[in-house]
Amino acid sequence: MRTYFEPEEDEEFEAAKDLLIRRALSWAEGQGLPADGLLLSAAVDSRHRSRDGRLAFWDSAQVRRYLLEWIPQYVVAPRDVLDAAPETLLTLLRYLIAAGLRDPRGATLAELESAVAATATEYPAALADPQRLGLAKFWAQTALDSGFDLTDRKSLDRFQRDIDAGRVAYDAEVLDQVMKARFTRLGLDEERAYPQPPLVIDAKVGEAAAGSEIVRQLSALVDWTGTDGRTLTGTGNLRLADARELAAHLGTGEQDLQVRSATELPRLNLLLAWAKSTRLVRVSKGRLLRVAKAAPLLRDPERLWSRAFEVFFDLGRAIGVPPGSMLVELFDELLPDVLNSVYGLPDRVPVTRLQETVWLACQDYLQLDEDDFRQQTWRRHVERDLVEAFELLAALGAVELSHGVADELYTSDLDEEDQPLPPEARARLRTRLAEPGLLVRLTPLGLRAVRERMLAEGRDVPLVGELVDASPGELLGVLAQHYTPETASVELDGWLAARGGGVEPLLDAVRACPFRARAAAMLGTLAEVRADGQSMLKGLRADRVLAPIAVTALLDTGDLRPEDLSTEEQLALMTEGLLTLLELAGPEEVMRQVTSMAGQDAFGIIEAVSNSGHPADESMREFRTLVAEPMRARSHGLRFANSSRPGSRGRHSGHGKRRKR
């Protein structure tokens, strides 16, 4: 049971969703908890069609998105069903925990229960708000409320005719509001963000903030301002003499420039804009003044660094020269994407590669004419301003700049068919990347800051060490889906060290996992990252519960051959495969494949599997209900249809309908 699927994995996601809903409904019935299949499906859809796509990751933000936005905009159902959404969501969240599926990086059950309770008070108003209603939902809900069957094409055609003829009543005022909202409301179908690799970030990274040049300059600027402030010109700028004094005090090197106004000292004005955006200083009644409430911030270099980094993305107009640079216009949108890209890339990144992608983004954002000379000029401005931005981030301590030849990784994809860069950009890159150039990588401070920004955007940004408090099943589930073998090994070692080093709790979690594919992935991950993994699997061959997946893994690695298996192991292996197929593709696919492979012996195989004694109780119950019973019914029906009866030669009478096969 995977809980993460790429957007294009439609069939795989739908099969997993069916399995999850089927199991959740069965569990809820056994627990006496409310649950509705439509609402469960909507909740799973809301997580799949999100920025991170993690079906089992829930926090208060996701609770609010589902109840206050997703249901009002998309879900069509009778009002009594919609009213039950908070309770059904709670049931789903409780089931995820009971089944060991919860992503431990999300909220705890207590936190989720509080979030649902708080959001439920706003939920009725959200349902009634036309601004949250999707146009498709408006008409579908109108049809449903008017008695039309949404699953019947003829009924829907009749609804359309009745609407056109004015025979169906609807609220025209609400429709008008829905139409207006279409042009102002952002869609909920979020673009999936690229998953970031798990990284190790030193917990003491904040200590480096005190050495930041920008932190020092911002603090020095506030000190220079003094308790009484500094008088400004009538246009709100520093007087030239004060500007020269401040430039020398901050070390910008601009104090001796031949200028007529303080506005002609770009680095000084950038630092002033930075200090204002960070709310260290303010302008009032013609004077530059300290902000009294900023005193605690100035005493804490780490907090000051973080605030300075956050406001950096608002400083585009103070960074770019000239002011009309295209990058300046898109600075707050493109620079975060640039740093996100650097975060996820190994080794030092060639700045020229980033310049090409930024230029391509600028062309996509803005309408450009075909004048080749002007485009070349604009491109050079964009490249220069990006370098300037990196130099400022280096002064802040967020990135490290160096010169050298880029790793071949950054040229290896230039000839791929799906490469988005145009041919002329690829040609430029081949030339530039063959020579030494400017390289950039994030410092530990920069890694932490960029990660925090991506987390705030709802992205999946794993951090090695963050799973130390996870339950055994939750730990293995995340490692199997989101970690590389190398980072999984480090994470697992830290988790084991915190608990004395024994793997038995992890094996117990695999034994308790009710999903065959998930259990196999969990055990496979454990075996892959441990030095004694293969010997562990061999030892589990005698384990009553884990033997089927251990034997499967040993066959996959070649440590076992089919002829090495006993008759009991062969049956267990076949059963394991069919149970896994049932999870991944559904009962119809199991019946189709068994029938295709075994022909007339298919039912015998199904009966053998049903009576195999496989230890996965829940999966076996599903197999008997969803596969064995339907095949048994089909088998009986076929025998009856072909049987010879008294007074008959076995010919069909010609009456009645043939059974579909």
At which residue do the structure tokens 């199997």 appear? Answer: 480
Alpha-carbon torsion 382, 401, 334, 409, what sign? positive
The arithmetic mean of pLDDT across residues 642-656, rounded, is: 38
β-pair partners for 230: 288
Tens digit of each residue's pLDDT (9 = 90 or more) over 469-513? 999 999 999 999 999 999 999 999 999 999 988 899 999 999 999
Indicate whether 182 pLDDT > 70.
Answer: no
- Least confident segment among 99-103, 188-192, 615-619: 188-192
Rounded Cα distance between 469 and 585, Å, is: 34
β-pair partners for 231: 287
- Least confident segment among 140-144, 320-324, 412-416: 320-324
> What φ, ψ does residue 230 adopt, rounded to 5°?
-130, 140
Place 217 in a pLDDT band, splitting at 50, 70 and 90.
Answer: very high
Place 142 in a pLDDT band, splitting at 50, 70 and 90.
Answer: confident
Place 320 in a pLDDT band, splitting at 50, 70 and 90.
Answer: low
Cβ atoms 68, 46 nearer than 8 A: no
Cβ atoms 464, 487 nearer than 8 A: yes
SS (H, E, C) 595-651: HHHHHHHHHHHHHHHHCCCCCCHHHHHHHHHHHHHHHHHHHHHHHHHHCCCCCCCCC
Nearest to 363 by CA among 386, 382, 389: 382
Element holding 155 (H helix, E strand)? helix 153-164
The arithmetic mean of pLDDT across residues 593-620, rounded, is: 92
Indicate whether 654 pLDDT > 80.
Answer: no
Place 657 in a pLDDT band, splitting at 50, 70 and 90.
Answer: very low
Tens digit of each residue's pLDDT (9 = 90 or more) over 3-18? 999 999 999 999 999 9
Place 636 in a pLDDT band, splitting at 50, 70 and 90.
Answer: low
Alpha-carbon torsion 300, 303, 309, 312, what sign? negative
Q: Is the pTM of this model over 0.75?
A: yes
Nearest to 443 by CA among 214, 106, 193: 214
Crossing angle of the two packed helices 472-482 and 516-529, in degrees rounded to 10: 80
- Least confident segment among 174-178, 189-193, 337-341: 174-178
Cβ atoms 278, 311 nearer than 8 A: yes
**C-alpha distance across the termini of the chain, in Å:** 29
**How many percent of the chain have pLDDT more than 90?**
71
Cβ atoms 130, 72 nearer than 8 A: no
Tens digit of each residue's pLDDT (9 = 90 or more) over 369-425? 665 677 788 888 899 999 999 999 999 999 999 999 999 989 988 888 778 888 888
Place 292 in a pLDDT band, splitting at 50, 70 and 90.
Answer: very high
Cβ atoms 307, 297 nearer than 8 A: yes
The overall average pLDDT reported for the chain is: 89
